[in-house]
Structure formats: C-alpha cells, structure tokens
Chains A and B, each alone.
Chain A
C-alpha cells in the first residue's frame, strides 16, 4: 500500500510517520521490549516516562536503529527498518536525536559540530551549511558561542547545541532521551524552552523525560512504560489526573513527591 504513488506515501506518512508493530527486543536472554505497538502521526508530540530500566531508551533507540529489534516491524517515514544499511542511513538522515549526555564532538567547534553532517551526509556546500548552522544557533539563542569548543560551554548550552546540530539536518522527527536529566537545575528551563519552541513549529517529537510540566505543556500523548511494556497511554491531563493502572499511580506519586 505504501510504495505506489508519491501522494499516497505522503498520506501514510501523515497517518503514521512512525509505526511500531509487535516489536520485541532481547539483550541476550533478557527480554527488554515486549510487544511494543506504537503509532505516531506527523506533528504528534509523545512523552515517554517510566521507571529506570523499563526500556524507554531502548525503545526510542530502536526508531533510528541505534538498537536492533529482533521481532516485529518498525516503519519510519514509510521505510521499514531492516538490516539494510541504505534504509538505516536514509532514516537516520530524517530522524534527529538528542542524548542525555549531549554527545557533542569535543574536537570540533560548535559551528563545526553543526555543519559536519550537512556537509558530509547531505553534501551541502560549506558556506551554505555554515549559514544554516548559524540560523539554528540563533534559534537556540547561542550564536555568540559558534567558535568555541563544546568543553567551554555549560551543560545547558551544550544540550542546546546538540538540539541545533540535529535540526541542521532538517529532520522530520526528533527523538529526545532524557535531555535534561544530566543538567543542573538552573539549566533545565533553557533546554525545555528550546524544546517547547521546537514543538510549536510542528515537529514530530518523541521525548523520554520526567519533566511533567513539559509533558503537560506540549505532549499530545503520554506513554508510561514498565518492564519493557507500554502499560498505559493517554492524553496528558487524563494521564496525570486519572491514571488507570496501579503502577502508573505509584510511579506518578513517586516522581511528584519531591
């Protein structure tokens, strides 16, 4: 159904830009993802939460194949993820990712961090890539840091550079894996603000985070995971005010306690 005319492809994209169907994953003997079914429409913003070790990172890392799933189907932007390297690289170009520890390239300046992938992957000319890079640095409000090295920036600035770096590839989808949990409290807001602005542009976002304020502001849906399963999903107000499962209630009471 999805590989006929281009228009139809766009239609399927709109309906389910990310489709995870019956996905299972094991680390050796350890069953880390169990029958994950998740449909994300274009422009949707999903927040995933759940206790540590419940498989949240693993789940979103399967979407750009930093982890390989062993059973089920993952279709991103109408391309199914298999071991086919061409497909994997194609999807990674379209999917941006931000990590808990930023993972900026310490040997390159901030601007070089931003222009590297556009130049080498998208074959954008250097001058144009730098223009794009500066545009996104302005959007994350640190254009004056362009010539510094990542090690000279604060954590919050580094994470904003990391977001800008992903955006320079002009992705359709952004994945965030606990982007604020390695930050000092006074820096969390600047990163969340950047993410909220990004959400306002209509970006499809999947975000692993325990920032419940952020979830209430931007999420269309909140997903709660435990022991490798999606326990519960709901729109944010319902999710927080009226959780259905005991485990969700327990988890929410724990994170809201402090």
Chain B
C-alpha cells in the first residue's frame, strides 16, 4: 500500500488564459462567432471614425464668434464663448469669484473622501455636511459681511444644478433614513405617518411636485407671503427624493438578520444606538448601489426645475442655442450638456463601486 501522495498544483492550459485565450473564447470560438466579431468591428469602425472626426479632428476650437466655425466639424468655439453662462447663469460677472470659491471648496472637500487613509477624513466629512453648506450659502446669497446680495433668480447654469443636487442629496439621505426607520417602527402612529408620507410623494411625478410648489403652494399661503422660488423647488425635490431614499434604505434594513437586532439589544444598546452603530452601517452598505442610483436620478432630475423658470445647466444651453448670434450649434450645445451630466453621474457611479469594495468585510451567514 502506497502512502497518500498530494497531487502537485499545475498551471491551467495556456490556451485558456491570457489575452489570446480570452480572444479565442469570447470572440473567435466558432466560424459564426468570428463572422459576428468581424461585422461588429466594422460597424464600430464606421461609427467611431466619423464621430471622432466631427468632434475632434475637423472641429473648430479657437475663435470668438460664429465666423470661427468651419462647419466641417463641431464648433466648440460656441461652448467656449458661452461657458460662463453655462456655469454661472445670470450671476453678476464681478461676483463669479464667489461661485469659484464654492467650487474649489467643494472639490477640496470631496477629493479627500475619495482617497483612502486621507488624514482628518471624518472631520472633513462632517464639515462637508454641516459647515460647507453654511459657507456656500453665505457666499452665494451674499447680503452679509459686505457681500453684495445676489437674488436666487440670478442663479443658474451648472452652479444652480450643483446647488439643487447637493441640497437634495445631503437632505434626502437623513430624512430618508428616518422615514425608513419610521416605516418599520412598532409605534402605529409613526409607522402610518411615514407610510402615508412615502406613498404620497412616491405616487406623484416630480414635475407635478415642482409645478405644485411653484403655482399652487402660493395659493394656499397667506397673501403677501413671499416664499423663495428656489427654496420651494428645493423642498419639493428633497421631499420627493427622501421618499425614494426611504424605500431603498428600507430594503437594506429588511436584509439585516433578526439576530443582529437581538445581539445589539442583548448587549444593552438602546434603539438609537443599535440602529446607528449596528443596523444602519450594515443596511446602508448593502444598498449603496441603490442610494447612488437615487442620487444619480436626482442629479438628472434637477433639469426639471425649468418648469418653474429656473435655469439649470441644460436650460442655459437650451436658451443659448436659439441665440441668433450662434446659428446651428444645437448639437454641440446638447452634447456639451450631456457630457457635463455624464461626467458627474459617472463619477458618482465609480465612487459607489470603490466604496462598496472598501466596505466589503465579508458576511456571516
């Protein structure tokens, strides 16, 4: 009788690994597959080359007015010339620096959040959520510390888009958490209130929420109350998004095993501590994709504020392309607007993936 001999670990066959292996398995596994690959390559080629040519190689990049546009390709001169309007809206030119400061501050606060092991990350995070909105609000609104007041109907462009999304995101998350907890509460009154709130806001389109906020709300308010239009839109959007957020988070709460609640309770943790320290960290982690999805939807939904006469970035573009000084630039304008939205949404999406990876600590059964 021979002893047990462990079989040595062997490398996998060469034809199944590496670039060649991948190509063979995925693109050229059969004659039919090879044909499809070639047809696909041809289609991609015949689409990409003219697109690149239009957008980059034959495009006009420098100049000051429509005469600089060659009409062989895209006229990015238009975007360059109207960029201030797309970014700052009707904000007074002399005060652009205030928006710039807010942008820079925003970037400075977001970047450390994306870097692993950045120092003071926690403090910066709290400052981002509490201190930053106050500073940004003072800078943008003005009216104190000798800053010239800028009424909100002068706000517009990318700045307005970011203001609305930031407020919507930062306010909708905590409200959504409270609503989700309330919906699972054992107290019938609280539960019913949360259910009614959520279902009410979820059941109407955002566009009608905004419409009601701008047209109908003033009818109910006492005569002479002047409720800022932007503020009304912000409240409407926040309520609407927090209802969605609540449902996303509720999904996460339901996925946490009962044993986690019991272990927390058995250790003597009260309701808020067990929620804040045990349940929510796990539940939120589970639903990061859903939360970010809601954020992305919110970011894009900000364009709907056009219905109440606010000029977000898309609306500034839409109004600039009908300017007779710049004929035939609508394609460039909309591509630019789409690109702006894509950059922000894609960044959020990548960040959520990175966050998910970082927080993945393995689950017990």
With both chains docked as a complex, state the minimum distance between the C-beta of A133 and any C-beta of chain B, in angstroms: 13
Given contacts A96-B266, A99-B263, A169-B268, contact A105 B362 (CB under 8 A): no
Q: Does A125 contact B (CB under 8 A)?
A: no
Question: Do A92 and B265 have beta carbons less than 8 Å apart?
Answer: yes
Given contacts A151-B364, A158-B364, contact A93 B263 (CB under 8 A): no
Q: Does A239 contact B (CB under 8 A)?
A: no
Question: Do B364 and A89 have beta carbons less than 8 Å apart?
Answer: no
Bitwise, A64-92 to B at CB < 8 A (1) or not (0) is 10100000000000000000010001001
Complex: A89 Cα to B273 Cα, angstroms: 12
B258 to A, closest residue via Cβ: A103
Q: Does A121 contact B (CB under 8 A)?
A: yes
On chain B, the residues within 8 Å of A121 by CB distance are 267-269, 273
Bitwise, B325-365 to A at CB < 8 A (1) or not (0) is 00000000000000000000000000000000001011111
3 closest pairs, A vs B, by CB? Answer: A151-B362, A103-B263, A103-B259
When the two chains form the complex, which single residue of A64, A106, A120 contacts B273, counting CB atoms closer than 8 Å?
A120
On chain A, the residues within 8 Å of B98 by CB distance are none
With both chains docked as a complex, state the minimum distance between the C-beta of A174 and any C-beta of chain B, in angstroms: 11
With both chains docked as a complex, state the minimum distance between the C-beta of A138 and any C-beta of chain B, in angstroms: 21
With both chains docked as a complex, state the minimum distance between the C-beta of B149 and any C-beta of chain A, in angstroms: 46
Question: Do B364 and A104 have beta carbons less than 8 Å apart?
Answer: yes
With both chains docked as a complex, state the minimum distance between the C-beta of A203 and any C-beta of chain B, in angstroms: 16
Q: Does B151 contact A (CB under 8 A)?
A: no
Instruction: Give 7 A-B contacts (CB < 8 Å), ordered by A residue.
Output: A89-B270, A92-B268, A97-B263, A99-B259, A103-B263, A107-B359, A120-B277
With both chains docked as a complex, state the minimum distance between the C-beta of A121 and any C-beta of chain B, in angstroms: 4
Question: Do A93 and B361 have beta carbons less than 8 Å apart?
Answer: no
Q: Does B281 contact A (CB under 8 A)?
A: yes
Q: Does A17 contact B (CB under 8 A)?
A: no
When the two chains form the complex, which single residue of A66, A149, A166 contacts B361, counting CB atoms closer than 8 Å?
A149
Q: Classify chain A's interface size.
A: 20 to 34
Bitwise, A7-50 to B at CB < 8 A (1) or not (0) is 00000000000000000000000000000000000000000000
Complex: A99 Cα to B262 Cα, angstroms: 9
On chain A, the residues within 8 Å of B264 by CB distance are 105
Given contacts A105-B260, A105-B278, contact A66 B265 (CB under 8 A): yes
Q: Does B282 contact A (CB under 8 A)?
A: yes
Given contacts A151-B362, A169-B267, A169-B268, contact A107 B285 (CB under 8 A): yes
Question: Do A106 and B282 have beta carbons less than 8 Å apart?
Answer: yes
On chain B, the residues within 8 Å of A152 by CB distance are 362
Q: Does A101 contact B (CB under 8 A)?
A: yes
Complex: A107 Cα to B358 Cα, angstroms: 11
A94 to B, closest residue via Cβ: B268
Question: Do A66 and B266 have beta carbons less than 8 Å apart?
Answer: yes
Question: Do B278 and A97 have beta carbons less than 8 Å apart?
Answer: no
On chain A, the residues within 8 Å of B281 by CB distance are 107
With both chains docked as a complex, state the minimum distance between the C-beta of A152 and any C-beta of chain B, in angstroms: 7
When the two chains form the complex, which single residue of A64, A103, A120 contacts B269, counting CB atoms closer than 8 Å?
A120
On chain A, the residues within 8 Å of B361 by CB distance are 106-107, 149, 151
Q: Does A179 contact B (CB under 8 A)?
A: no
With both chains docked as a complex, state the minimum distance between the C-beta of B272 and any C-beta of chain A, in angstroms: 10
Pick the most buried of B264, B267, B269, B363: most chain A CB atoms within 10 A of its CB: B267
Question: Do B363 and A106 have beta carbons less than 8 Å apart?
Answer: yes
A65 to B, closest residue via Cβ: B265
Within 7-62 of B, Cβ neighbours of A (below 8 Å) are at: none
Complex: A158 Cα to B364 Cα, angstroms: 10
Complex: A150 Cα to B260 Cα, angstroms: 13
Complex: A106 Cα to B255 Cα, angstroms: 13
When the two chains form the complex, which single residue of A85, A150, A165 contacts B267, counting CB atoms closer than 8 Å?
A165
With both chains docked as a complex, state the minimum distance between the C-beta of A104 and any C-beta of chain B, in angstroms: 6
When the two chains form the complex, which single residue of A89, A102, A149 contacts B268, counting CB atoms closer than 8 Å?
A89
Q: Does A117 contact B (CB under 8 A)?
A: yes
With both chains docked as a complex, state the minimum distance between the C-beta of B38 and any C-beta of chain A, in angstroms: 46
Complex: A131 Cα to B36 Cα, angstroms: 65
On chain A, the residues within 8 Å of B260 by CB distance are 103, 105
Within 280-300 of B, Cβ neighbours of A (below 8 Å) are at: 281-282, 285
Question: Do A103 and B267 have beta carbons less than 8 Å apart?
Answer: no
Given contacts A107-B361, A121-B268, A169-B268, contact A101 B259 (CB under 8 A): yes
With both chains docked as a complex, state the minimum distance between the C-beta of B270 and any C-beta of chain A, in angstroms: 6
Complex: A4 Cα to B153 Cα, angstroms: 71
Q: Does A116 contact B (CB under 8 A)?
A: yes
On chain B, the residues within 8 Å of A107 by CB distance are 281-282, 285, 359, 361
Question: Do A66 and B277 have beta carbons less than 8 Å apart?
Answer: no
